[in-house]
Structure 1
């Protein structure tokens, strides 16, 4: 999977300069999928993910000339997306409800005894545990293991060095294993096999 991509500045290959409307469109087309995937993993809802990504790009198109002055456009867009995801989570916490088959149930009412809800329970448990990780660890794990980005791509999106990403991944896996009450030794091979 590709990283958030900065399209050609127009000097080579005849592509549209970023400052043009075609440049914004090219940037959008090159990056929307990764940003949408990240938001979906964080929020667990395609509708919410689409909404926050759309908000980011609507804001960006209005300030496009200013954004182009950024040193790292990839990191800037990722940061903008993370802020929108956090806002969406806050709205959800106020509701504190889970929608299941059109019925609204509190999390306490979701029973682990119901086989149809076991997958939902596991997803809620993982999302809750991920939400308890420090932000940088959560971001690194999500980008690497759920979006399938390389450590170099994760470093670029997060605006940090590759060794820093490796440290966030290691600490994040350890803490996630503790939160899920797993033995970290058993957990490491599992995380290596994720896409």
Structure 2
């Protein structure tokens, strides 16, 4: 995964080289994944950067360099969960809650049905329980296999299937009931 075909397969990567190569190839995709889970671009970038820092710190412990991307995905999903938990706690104890979500407000000027439908779908995804949302995003956005999703979420493949099926059913129902 890290080495180019022309390079020696037995070459050992330093943490700096490996993280630089992974960053160049996967940073944007991991940020998009985190944005879908967190609904906050700045928090998503922080989670992804923390994942890269963690990988760099623990590079020497990684037995198989080909699993580094999986490690990063798992770190991003876990970091997003942690950020959501923190956000929930803060919301319960902070008097002034922020209720502005500019991404879900449909602009009257645009009038584009495609944009409105896209926002309806994103809003429906946001309303899903966390595990269902994670399974749907990892499957249909990140296009991961059930095994990769199970690794990233820390659950069995059967749980991935269950969360994805329930999430899709809830999305269908929510979108059918939308005005």
TM normalised by structure 2 equals: 0.65
Counterpart in the other structure of 2:68: 73
Q: What's the offset of the Cα at 1:91? A: 2.7
Mark the CA change 1:28 to 1:17 in structure 2 (over 3 Å): closer, same or farther.
farther
Aligned length: 158
Q: What's the offset of the Cα at 1:61? A: 1.2
Q: Secondary structure at the match of 1:52?
A: helix
Q: Secondary structure at the match of 1:72?
A: helix
Mark the CA change 1:97 to 1:30 in structure 2 (over 3 Å): closer, same or farther.
same
| 8 Å Cα contact 1:140-1:169 kept in structure 2 | yes
Mark the CA change 1:111 to 1:22 in structure 2 (over 3 Å): closer, same or farther.
closer
| 8 Å Cα contact 1:56-1:80 kept in structure 2 | yes
Counterpart in the other structure of 1:145: 140
Mark the CA change 1:155 to 1:111 in structure 2 (over 3 Å): closer, same or farther.
closer
Where does 1:1-195 land on structure 2 (aligned, <5 Å)? 6-8=1-3, 12-14=5-7, 17-66=12-61, 68-69=62-63, 72-93=67-88, 94-95=90-91, 96-99=97-100, 122=120, 125-130=123-128, 132-133=129-130, 135=131, 137-147=132-142, 149=143, 151-152=144-145, 155-156=147-148, 158-159=150-151, 168-178=163-173, 180=174, 182=176
Mark the CA change 1:122 to 1:69 in structure 2 (over 3 Å): closer, same or farther.
same
Deviations 1:85-115 (A, max 9, x none): 11211232223422368xxxxxxxx999x95
Deviations 1:35-87 (A, max 9, x none): 11100111122111111111111122112111x22583333222211121112
Whole-Å separation in 2 of the counterparts to 1:157 and 1:81: 12
Whole-Å separation in 2 of the counterparts to 1:111 and 1:143: 25
| 8 Å Cα contact 1:35-1:78 kept in structure 2 | yes
Whole-Å separation in 2 of the counterparts to 1:155 and 1:39: 19
Q: Which runs of 5+ in 2 are unaligned?
A: 92-96, 110-115
| 8 Å Cα contact 2:149-2:160 kept in structure 1 | no
